[in-house]
Structure 1
Amino acid sequence: MLTYNVRGENIEVTEAIRNYVEKRISKLNKYFTDATQAIAHVNLKVYSNKDAKVEVTIPMPYITLRAEETSPDLYASIDLVTDKLERQIRKFKTKINRKSREKGFPVLSDDVPNANGEDEADNSSTDLKVVRTKRVSLKPMDSQEAVLQMDMLGHNFFIFEDAETNGTSIVYKRRDGRYGLIETDE
């Protein structure tokens, strides 16, 4: 079941806003088993032009669900991001659940599997200072499943443990729209 961590930037998170967020995102509980414990990290931000951005990240042992939406209405952004997360779960459930059953990762109901997030560092050409660090636990999977996870997260690369070689590998999206694989020698 989901628990919630709701933060606001340039906005006070009132009880009404918190209740609305929890009510809308709790509709995702139907995709989780009773044994699943996950925290929905919700970040609400209001810009000077009054647009409201809602970011939701739900990290779990084998998958990271993430979506964001911006609109002139905070409540509409909450609705849109919830719908996006639900579509994301349904879309990838059918693509990955076969492998999940084979590997025994029943984390979400109907055996929706989980994946890791990837390490992010922001480097500019003039300043090589690392401004963000993420720790990841690598999960065994094949390169096709890693590409699906990368696309689901909307990132350009994805780090994973190759299930066949037990080595660390990286899939990435090439400029031509195809995918590349980097394997390590271990």
Structure 2
Amino acid sequence: MEFQISGRGVTVSDRFREYVNEKSEKIETLADKPQRLEAKVTQEGRSTSAPDSMTVELTVVGRGPVIRSEARAGDKMAAFDLAYAKLLERLRRAHDRRKVHHGRHTPPAVHDKTAGLDPAETGRPLAEQVAPEAGSQDARGDSAPVLIRRKLFPAVPMGLDDAVDAMELVGHDFYVFRDAETGRDSVVYRRAGMTYGVIALDDAVESGSVSEMREYRAG
């Protein structure tokens, strides 16, 4: 498995690289033919001693879906350990799903597998939810502009259930995908109460919206 370790605003030491390499054996065991592990360390603000000043993002790229985790702590080692624990949990979920597809056991309930995840706040504007914390804003200065990052991904068709699984594996509150059944570009998202929603655009719908309900992994 290839390693890509980078730092933004912080120097990545040889000790940290060795630490990541030592932890990689477990990742290779659980991941589905992993090709690359990406570790990105980012220092938030100017002080390395401030709480949650270090962010570590881990991404496993392989034959299956991309699996990602992120954590913040006062130093990069602690942040890595937190992100690593999240990554292993998501790798185990993916490993269990591969067993399900081979017919080895009954799939676990979505509620059980997502009980530890925080739902998105439906009553609060998205801009407020994604805004940086006050400490980070002060460190960058009041005049710092609000940035919008654009990303492009390959349009790989998948089923709605698979899109839900992919969203949970990367640890996001939403996931953009192309619905294999309808051909529409869609967004699945996590709702309050351990349920999910999906939004799609259709030129045939003249006004308002059309909705329906279905069970996860029904049938």
TM-score, normalised via structure 2 length = 0.59
User: What is the rounded CA distance, in whole Å, between the counterparts of 1:72 and 1:48 in structure 2?
Assistant: 6
| 1:60 CA drift (Å) | 4.3
Residues 14, 137 of structure 1: CA spacing in aligned structure 2 closer, same or farther, 3 A cutoff?
A: same
Corresponding letter in the other structure for 2:50: N
Letter aligned with residue 67 of structure 2: L
Q: 1:182 to 1:10 in 2, by over 3 A?
A: closer
What is the aligned residue count?
161
Q: Residues 120-135 of structure 1 correspond to what in structure 2 (within 5 A)? A: 131-135=148-152
Structure 1 residues 131, 183: closer, same or farther in 2, change over 3 A? Answer: closer
CA contact (8 A) 2:43 2:55 kept: yes
Correspondence for 2:22 = 23
Per the alignment, residue 94 of structure 2 pairs with: 92
TM-score computed with the length of structure 1 as normaliser: 0.67
Alignment of 1:14-163 (within 5 A): 14-32=13-31, 36-45=34-43, 47-49=48-50, 51=52, 52-60=54-62, 62-95=64-97, 98-99=100-101, 131-163=148-180
Deviates more, 1:52-61 or 1:81-90: 52-61
Contact 1:25 / 1:82 at 8 angstroms: preserved in 2?
Answer: no
Tell me the equivalent position of 2:211: none
What stretches of structure 2 of length at least 5 have no aligned partner? 104-125, 129-145, 204-219
Work out whether residues 138 and 159 of structure 1, in 8 Å CA contact, stay in contact via their aligned partners in 2. no
Aligned position for 2:113: none
In 1, Cα distance between the equivalents of 2:71 and 2:79? 6
Larger Rg belongs to: 2
Specify the alignment match of 2:109 in structure 1. none
> Shift of the alpha carbon at 1:24?
1.6
Instruction: Name stretches of at least 5 consecutive residues in structure 1 with no aligned partner.
Output: 103-122
**Residue identity in the other structure for 1:181:** V
- Post-superposition CA distance 1:114-166 (Å, at most 9, x none): xxxxxxxxx959xxx76201111233322122122222323222122222233
Secondary structure of the residue that 2:167 maps to in structure 1? helix
Give per-residue Cα distances to partners, 1:47-84, cap 9 Å, x unaligned.
44164332212344642211122333432332332222
Q: What's the secondary structure of 1:89's corresponding residue?
A: helix
Corresponding residue for 2:112?
none
Q: Residues 34-56 of structure 1, C-alpha deviation per residue, up to 9 Å, x if partnerless?
A: 5x422423224364416433221
Equivalent-residue separation in structure 2 for 1:177 and 1:65 (angstroms):
21
| C-alpha separation in 1, matches of 2:61 and 2:170 | 11
After the TM superposition, which parts of structure 1 deviate over 6 Å for at least 4 consecutive aligned residues?
A: none
Whole-Å separation in 1 of the counterparts to 2:183 and 2:197:
19
- Seen in structure 2, the aligned counterparts of structure 1 residues 57 and 154 have a Cα distance that, compared at 3 Å, is same
Give how far 1:28 is off: 0.5
Partner of 1:108: none
Aligned CA RMSD, in angstroms, stands at 3.3
CA pair 45-179 structure 1, distance change in 2 beyond 3 A: same
